[in-house]
């Protein structure tokens, strides 16, 4: 079988498809490959790690129907170095050959077997504005857990009532966004890894199609001729409301960019001291130091607006950086109850967002 197609389009589609293959060494070889199937005058590409599924298509000149599974890494690398606009694929003897002018590459195929296809979702689709996803998801995705032993924490919890609430937590920090309802989004837990991938892909789209199967416990996002499927996470999300303090004794308002810069400066020293950075709230601002540092050495001071008591609170500096790098506001508001109680961070331009970090206990 011979297939003639556009090199750049094929390369782009393969690159995205590879992001949904399995990276686990223990997984079946077929899950590390990309399934290619001819239907009509379209070449369809499928990939899956069993939790998420990817499907796209492109136009191609094809002699006859056939399907096969390729190992994408070397194929993508080879295609990226070619300069030709058109390439020809030839499949024979369990191998794929890529030809471009006087260049030819040979790549072994993976035994196709039974490639896992995306779940069937026949429910009615709805339109979702891409801006809604790209604005809100980054504010919660960074707080989701990467621990696979606690599945519910590895996703973003969507709660739909009078308004839409998005929540994520890894047990040490929590992010929450409350916003107007977007269409008919259901109350579900969607894997954070999947959401990261689709926000990366759809950023140039104005809107995407969305559908949800309660019976199949799966969702589908579609942008153009590309489809993204994911199994939903089953289980109960922890009662996150209990983590959010209802009281505060100190409120601090800091300019965000200076806050970020000071955190980075002191992290140079905090890396040698368990990654702990101490924020000492004074009457007119905050002093930043690594753990167990006396005097003015290895410190920074930032002027700010302080209301309430003077306090000292310590954090893993990486948690502060993760939050500050996604915060899109001029000022950050910090609400502190005690040095051993969860601390709330807010953006001054987004009343529906809050971030909570559990402080680190330090000896005075």
Residue 119 inside a domain? The answer is no
Question: What sections of the chain are H helices per DSSP?
Answer: 7-18, 72-81, 130-136, 138-141, 192-202, 256-270, 317-326
Residue 313 inside a domain? The answer is yes
- What is the rounded CA–CA span in Å between residue 174 and residue 135? 18
C-alpha dihedral, 80 to 89 to 58 to 216, nearest 10°: -100
Name the helix (H) or strand (E) containing 305: strand 305-308
Going through 11-125 in order, the beta strands assigned E by DSSP cover 34-39, 42-48, 52-59, 61-62, 67-70, 86-92, 95-100, 103-110
Q: What is the separation of C-alpha 315 from the centre of its chain, rounded to a whole number of angstroms?
A: 23
Q: Count the domains in the chain.
A: 3
Asked whether residue 293 falls in the same domain as residue 353, the answer is yes
Residue 219 inside a domain? The answer is no
Residue 236 inside a domain? The answer is yes
Asked whether residue 9 falls in the same domain as residue 105, the answer is yes
Asked whether residue 104 falls in the same domain as residue 135, the answer is no
Residue 33 inside a domain? The answer is yes
Name the helix (H) or strand (E) containing 346: strand 343-347
Judged by phi (left if over 0) then psi (alpha if -120 to 50, else beta), residue 21 lies in beta
Residue 331 inside a domain? The answer is yes
Asked whether residue 97 falls in the same domain as residue 16, the answer is yes
Residue 220 inside a domain? The answer is no
Choosing from 110, 136, 168, the residue where a domain stops is 110
pLDDT of residue 275: 95
Terminal-residue alpha carbon distance, the chain: 74
- What is the rounded CA–CA span in Å between residue 100 and residue 163? 54
Residue 155 tokens read as: 């996703």
DSSP per residue over 212-281, as a string?
A: EETTTTEEEEEETTEEEEEEPPPSPPP-GGGGS-S--SEEEEEEHHHHHHHHHHHHHHHTTTTTEEEEEE
Answer yes or no: are the C-beta atoms of 6 and 14 closer than 8 Å. no
Asked whether residue 275 falls in the same domain as residue 316, the answer is yes
Residue 186 inside a domain? The answer is yes
pLDDT of residue 62: 75
Answer yes or no: are the C-beta atoms of 69 and 14 closer than 8 Å. no
Asked whether residue 280 falls in the same domain as residue 346, the answer is yes
Answer yes or no: are the C-beta atoms of 230 and 206 closer than 8 Å. no
| Helix, strand or coil, per DSSP, at residue 148 | coil
Answer yes or no: are the C-beta atoms of 174 and 345 closer than 8 Å. no
- What is the rounded CA–CA span in Å between residue 131 and residue 135? 6
CATH code: domain of residue 82: 3.10.150.10
- What is the rounded CA–CA span in Å between residue 289 and residue 267? 9
Asked whether residue 262 falls in the same domain as residue 321, the answer is yes
Asked whether residue 350 falls in the same domain as residue 272, the answer is yes
Under DSSP, the state recorded for 117 is: P
Choosing from 110, 145, 165, the residue where a domain stops is 110
- Of residues 130, 173, 142, the one with CA closest to residue 326: 142
- What is the rounded CA–CA span in Å between residue 215 and residue 34? 27
pLDDT of residue 183: 75
pLDDT of residue 41: 82
- What is the rounded CA–CA span in Å between residue 285 and residue 301? 7
Asked whether residue 204 falls in the same domain as residue 270, the answer is no
Asked whether residue 294 falls in the same domain as residue 349, the answer is yes
pLDDT of residue 295: 61
pLDDT of residue 64: 73
Predicted confidence pLDDT, tens digits, the chain (364 residues): 788 889 999 999 999 999 999 988 767 889 999 999 988 788 999 999 999 999 999 988 877 777 899 999 999 999 999 988 899 999 888 899 999 988 999 999 988 778 999 999 988 899 999 999 999 999 999 999 998 889 999 999 999 988 999 999 999 999 999 999 877 788 999 999 999 999 989 988 999 999 999 999 999 999 999 999 999 999 899 999 999 999 999 999 999 999 999 999 999 999 988 999 999 999 999 999 998 766 668 899 999 999 999 999 999 999 999 999 999 999 999 999 999 999 999 999 999 999 999 999 877 5
pLDDT of residue 294: 65
Q: Name the residue range of residue 280's domain.
A: 244-357
Sign, CA dihedral 307-308-313-316, equals: negative
User: Which residue(s) pair with 348 in the sheet?
Assistant: none
Asked whether residue 254 falls in the same domain as residue 231, the answer is no
Side-chain half-sphere CA neighbours of 68 within 13 A? 22
Going through 121-217 in order, the beta strands assigned E by DSSP cover 126-129, 155-160, 164-169, 173-179, 188-191, 207-213
């Amino acid at each position: 079988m011979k297939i003639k197609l556009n090199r750049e389009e094929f390369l782009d589609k393969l690159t995205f498809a590879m992001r949904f293959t399995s990276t686990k060494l223990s997984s079946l070889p077929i899950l590390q490959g990309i399934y290619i199937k001819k239907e009509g005058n379209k070449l369809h590409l499928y990939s899956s790690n069993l939790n998420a599924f990817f499907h796209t298509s492109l136009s191609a000149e094809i002699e006859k129907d056939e399907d096969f599974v390729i190992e994408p890494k070397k194929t993508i690398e080879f295609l990226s170095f070619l300069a030709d606009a058109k390439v020809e694929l030839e499949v024979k003897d369990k191998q794929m050959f890529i030809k471009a002018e006087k260049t030819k590459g040979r790549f072994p195929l993976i035994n196709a077997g039974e490639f896992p296809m995306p779940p069937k979702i026949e429910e009615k689709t709805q339109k979702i504005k891409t801006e809604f996803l790209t604005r809100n998801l980054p504010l919660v995705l960074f707080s989701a857990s990467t621990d696979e032993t606690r599945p519910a924490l590895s996703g973003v919890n969507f709660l739909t009532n009078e308004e839409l609430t998005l929540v994520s937590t890894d047990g040490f920090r929590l992010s929450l966004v409350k916003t107007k309802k977007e269409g008919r989004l259901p109350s579900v837990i969607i894997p954070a890894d999947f959401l990261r991938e689709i926000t990366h892909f759809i950023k140039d789209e104005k809107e995407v199609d969305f559908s949800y199967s309660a019976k199949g416990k799966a969702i589908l996002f579609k942008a153009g001729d590309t489809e993204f499927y994911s199994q939903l996470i089953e289980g109960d999300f922890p009662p996150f409301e209990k983590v959010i303090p209802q009281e505060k004794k100190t409120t601090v308002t800091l300019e965000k960019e200076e806050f970020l810069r000071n955190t980075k400066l002191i992290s140079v020293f905090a890396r040698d001291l368990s990654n702990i950075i101490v924020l000492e709230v004074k009457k007119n601002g905050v002093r930043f130091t690594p753990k167990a540092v006396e005097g003015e050495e290895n410190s920074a001071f930032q002027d700010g607006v302080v209301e309430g008591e003077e306090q000292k609170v310590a954090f893993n500096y990486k948690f502060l950086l993760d939050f500050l790098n996604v915060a899109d506001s001029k000022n950050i508001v910090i609400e502190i109850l005690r040095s051993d109680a969860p601390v709330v961070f807010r953006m001054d331009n987004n009343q529906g967002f809050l971030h909570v970090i559990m402080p680190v206990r330090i000896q005075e």
